[in-house]
């Protein structure tokens, strides 16, 4: 039976390599070691490791190069977590390691080996955090996102999630929180522009959703908070922020605090839009089906290849939530078995009719209110910027004007 996990230790210094391997074996792990990047890559290609621990400085290529190969498109196991270790841990190196997908960057001081062992125990004992449906897939783009989120979980810096609406930013924020050392605590969500607080929340993890909508006064509060953290004062909040906008452009235009943007954007993860995830689409649909099955308690429905192909051709204006709504309806309203393109067409048609009806009701209510406030057809035409005939046509279209020039009893004559 396998040990607590198989770990690859890479270091060109034999004494350090053997000391680290020995401590990991004492902790119950199986360990293989390599004296450089080339040897490590050959071992990695032949075995399925649970963790790689690599020194940064080596004569045949640094640890960053090995990290890129492990998480690259030709890697046999691109999701294997990597710890980078070094005698010198600068902020620049730490952030670079995180951007490249390193799970940890640890300085090998006197307590360094013990810390590597402790963090390896935590990582491999807890197992992998359940992946949300929004982040499934094996394309290079989404694998890079997962690697960066895994790396960011241990960094004591703000994390900025960029992506189009519906790209899964909120799911990524929740996943990032669950990966972190304080996952048992709450993730407090502040919906910027809606429920901003007077002060900075005292919670350990705070998610600033749609940070581009943060009010100027709130921008100033968060700028001062992050400035205090950088000055070495105790952090009161670990900040995850998300944006669908170009914060750099907003800052350049004077519409967003430039210093706050710089502090938030030091570690940025960009999520691909649904339209960019053609290679992941089938897997994403399968994951959304499984989630819908759990919600509606039906596990006898699956999407056929033609159903997936029809869903792929649709334009999803609201991204993944738009797709998930259709998938949930498919699971809930259709008989069991494999669903085809015709079932998708039925749902899409019904959804479009429902949207059109809702839009009709909303426009009718608005026009009726305008007519009531205007008091006459002439005044309504002025409000709408059209002629009397144009105003009458719009009223007739929504059943608000009778033939013969008379309106409803609560309105005046034309």
The reply to whether domains 155-270 and 274-339 share a CATH topology is no
CA dist., res. 404 & res. 163, Å (int) = 55
Note the pLDDT of residue 88: 66
| Averaged pLDDT for residues 121-138 | 76
Q: Residue 1's pLDDT is what? A: 35
The model's pTM: 0.64
pLDDT digit string (tens) for 261-289? 999 998 999 999 999 999 999 999 999 99
With a pLDDT cut of 90, the percent of the chain lying above it is: 35
| CATH fold of the domain at 155-270 | Rossmann fold (3.40.50)
Domain 274-339 has CATH 1.10.8: yes
Average pLDDT, the chain: 84
What is the residue extent of each domain of the chain?
6-126, 155-270, 274-339, 359-414
So what's the pLDDT on residue 21?
A: 92
The CATH code belonging to domain 6-126 is 3.40.50.2300
């Amino acid at each position: 039976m396998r040990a607590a996990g198989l770990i690859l230790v890479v270091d060109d210094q034999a004494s350090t390599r053997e000391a680290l391997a020995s401590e990991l074996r004492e902790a119950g792990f199986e360990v293989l070691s390599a004296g450089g990047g080339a040897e490590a890559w050959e071992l990695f290609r032949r075995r399925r490791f649970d963790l790689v621990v690599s020194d940064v400085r080596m004569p045949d290529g640094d640890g960053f190069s090995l990290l890129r190969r492990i998480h690259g498109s030709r890697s046999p196991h691109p999701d294997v977590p990597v710890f980078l270790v070094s005698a010198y841990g600068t902020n620049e190196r730490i952030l670079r390691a995180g951007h490249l997908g390193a799970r940890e960057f640890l300085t090998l001081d006197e307590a360094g080996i013990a810390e590597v062992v402790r963090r390896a125990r935590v990582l491999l004992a807890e197992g992998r955090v359940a992946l949300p449906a929004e982040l499934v897939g094996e394309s290079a783009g989404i694998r890079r996102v997962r690697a960066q989120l895994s790396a960011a979980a241990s960094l004591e810096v703000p994390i900025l999630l960029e992506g189009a609406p519906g790209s899964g930013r909120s799911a990524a924020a929740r996943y990032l929180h669950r990966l972190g050392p304080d996952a048992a605590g709450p993730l407090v969500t502040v919906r910027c522009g809606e429920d901003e607080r007077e002060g900075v929340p005292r919670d350990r993890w705070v998610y600033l959703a749609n940070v581009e909508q943060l009010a100027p006064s709130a921008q100033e509060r968060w700028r001062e908070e992050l400035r205090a953290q950088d000055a070495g004062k105790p952090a009161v909040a670990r900040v995850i922020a998300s944006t669908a906008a170009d914060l750099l452009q907003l800052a350049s235009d004077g519409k967003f605090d430039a210093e706050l943007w710089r502090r938030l954007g030091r570690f940025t993860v960009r999520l691909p839009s649904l339209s960019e995830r053609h290679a992941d689409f089938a897997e994403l649909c399968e994951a959304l089906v499984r989630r819908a099955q759990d919600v509606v308690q039906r596990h006898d429905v699956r999407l056929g290849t033609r159903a997936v192909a029809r869903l792929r051709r649709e334009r999803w204006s609201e991204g993944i939530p738009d797709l998930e709504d259709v998938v949930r309806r498919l699971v809930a309203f259709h008989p069991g078995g494999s669903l085809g393109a015709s079932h998708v067409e039925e749902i899409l048609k019904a959804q479009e009719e429902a949207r059109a009806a809702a839009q009709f009701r909303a426009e009718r209510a608005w026009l009726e209110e305008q007519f009531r406030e205007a008091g006459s057809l002439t005044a309504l035409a002025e409000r709408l910027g059209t002629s009397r005939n144009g105003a009458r046509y719009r009223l007739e279209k929504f059943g608000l004007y009778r033939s013969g020039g008379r309106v409803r009893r609560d309105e005046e004559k034309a």
